[in-house]
Chains A and B, each alone.
Chain A
Amino acid sequence: MAADLLGLAQLLLNGLALGAAYALVALGFVLILNATGAVNFAQGDLVMLGGYVAIALSRWLDLAGIDLSGPALLPLVMLAMAGCGLLFSALAWRPFRSRPPIFGLLATVALGLVLQEAMNALEGAAPRAGPTLVGTGDLRIGPFGLSRSALGIMAAALVIGLAQAWLLGHTQFGRRLRASAQDPVTARALGLPVDRLIAGSFALAAALAGAVGLLLSGPYFVTPSMGNDLILRAYIAVTIGGWGSLKGAVAGALLIALFESVVAGYTSSVAATAALYGVVLLVLAVRPAGLFPEPLGRRA
């Protein structure tokens, strides 16, 4: 019995670590959704790009003889990816901002595929292992064993998630961003730089993606097509969590990861996937707006 409980706790810990990474992907997804009203189907591909940026930065710094790894690499990757996010907004959102949201959605799909094939051509299709945030190996916490990577993912996700919540809820930038997302016409009339604010949200979402890319690249590797699975999970997380809700996105991501870890641990991964989609259908039937519906006026 005790062994069973320990096993369950271990699976829960693994699920929390994975859920933390999924939550960061979902948060970036929600950010763009709230800012533009359009779904960014390239968020997973931005994670993939973040992984390759982490590998490239690590390689360049190593060549330059700069011993910079682990947590110190994280802000650099996020900064580089924020720049990519600005470029992304210029290509995928700005040209289509006055068109119906479907244009923006298709543009993100197209740019995501371009990113995939570009990385395929530049780096090849082989999975690549990136730098680790907090080294390799396992840590024992009482009877539990948890990899350093998993702990690093959880810690980083917690810090980044809280920082994002603070940025959006308690800073001028956050307030302006929310205002422009809720009513861009009025926000423009009030003199807010709506286009720049939305570009900023793309930068922020890409920075989040960069963080996830770095976090996942060490323990789980990077491939050009890895974003496809991640965006599917982010989409499900946001759907069951409640469209536009940051809290819902996190809850949805954790739920998915717990299914993948705990339910799969007691049944099978196929059964866990089937059960997860069953829960998605149930949530949509019972609570069509998701577990944490966000009132329109409070979105973003």
Chain B
Amino acid sequence: MRRLVLLLAAVLGTTAAAEPARLPILVPVTGFLSLEGTSQRNGALLALRQAPAGLAVSGEVIDTATAPENAVNALLRALDGGPVPAVVAPMLGTQMLALMPIAAEEKLPLVTVSGTASLTEAGNPWIFRFFPSDRAAKEAHVRYAVERLGRHKLALVYQTTAYGQSGATYIATAAKRHGAELVFSEGIDTGVKDYAPVLKRAMASGADALLLHLHAGPTALAVRQVAALGLTLPVVAGSALHQPATAALLEPRELKGICAESASSPVSGGSPRLEQFLKDYRAAFGADPDAYALAQYDGTEMLLDVLAHGARTGEAVRAALAAEQWDGVAMRYASNGHGDMAHSVVILCYDGVTRVPKVVERYDGLDAAKPD
């Protein structure tokens, strides 16, 4: 099947294989999502540096900042430069929603690490997501609290942003599905500095576990306040905590016993390929990678493999991405028929001694089926 698809891709290709393929990298490297966007960019660039032998490919990074219109302008600018077989697209959900109609019109695959669940549920065949959707990530988030920790009265503190509200919806759904009760749920603005009031009320609700679904800085603030208040109930945070830059804000003792969901935890190592990725990333960028970097690295690697096998048009690339499997560094990727390529989520926990977490649980096969 793989050979057949790639042969088809080669036949459909209209540009000579020897000609450099353009792979624009449209990512938010400025604005409030620039931490995650920089990781996304670095992952794509590292993959490009390690492009398969014989494949000539050029990548141009265009900043999309955080406004949807910026992303649209960036894509139009990229298309003005000539034909492109695919695009590394921004991880910001609202930007992806703005790009999707253009992708359909231009027959252009968008490879993203956005978690916004609705992206792949709109019937647009040009979207390929290499990061677990919110639907899958929050399923693991809740399952860990309920199944592994045996907690059934959950308190949720989430961000009032689109990211936070989307995740909160899926947490509520998953909690209900797993027989747990959400005894406390509150949205918090990103500008809030004092988490003591909300944490005290969460405790007063009778919750036996605390779930956090916050951006990086607020996650660190909340975890610090949990430690300062001496709260003893288990805390399971969102993927922001797995980012080395977030953990670096906290003392190891403040992180003790805190867990988080993520697509992967590159700094935790665990396999020769992961160790090699870690080494290469550190050498290239002088920083530790996070799961967004690794997911975009894996997604771009798969894309490059498809290009190396001759695909040169959007349609050819789309067909290959939709039909192929890819053994990435973080996990095995394959489309569920809707462009969701990632179906595994890990839970990692901090031991109070180092800022490098240990992966304690892995959930595979999440979101592999058609969304309900």
Partner-B contacts on A (CB < 8 A)? 7, 10-11, 14-15, 18, 117, 120, 124-129, 136, 138, 147, 216, 219-221, 223-225, 228-229, 232-233, 260-262, 264-266, 268-270, 273
Contacts and interface: CB of A to CB of B under 8 A. Distances in A.
Given A221-B249, A225-B32, A18 B193 contact: yes
B30 A127 contact: no
27 contacts: A7-B200, A11-B196, A18-B193, A120-B30, A124-B245, A126-B35, A126-B216, A126-B243, A128-B249, A129-B249, A138-B228, A220-B193, A220-B221, A221-B220, A224-B34, A229-B191, A260-B193, A260-B194, A261-B196, A264-B197, A264-B198, A268-B198, A269-B189, A269-B197, A269-B198, A270-B160, A270-B187
Interface string B110-146: 0000000000000000000000000000000000000
A265 B201 contact: yes
Given A18-B193, A120-B34, A265-B200, 13 more contacts: A7-B200, A124-B34, A124-B38, A125-B34, A127-B246, A136-B251, A220-B221, A261-B194, A262-B197, A265-B196, A269-B186, A269-B187, A273-B189
Interface residues of B, number: 35
A18 B186 contact: no
Contacts of B38: 124-125
Nearest to A137: B228
B1 interface: no
Contacts, number: 91
Contacts of B33: 125
Contact of B217 (A10, A136, A219, A223): A223
A252 B121 CA distance: 47
Nearest to B28: A125
Contacts of B224: 219
B346 to A, nearest CB: 22
Contacts of B221: 220-221
A125 B35 contact: yes
B192 interface: yes
A124 B193 contact: no
B186 A270 contact: yes
B215 to A, nearest CB: 9
Interface string B279-305: 000000000000000000000000000
A186 B318 CA distance: 73
Q: Which of B192, B194, B246, B251 has the most CB atoms of chain A within a 10 A radius of its CB?
A: B194
Interface in B7-65: 30-35, 37-38
B188 interface: yes
Contact of A14 (B186, B188, B191, B194): B194
A128 B243 CA distance: 13
Contacts of A220: 193, 221
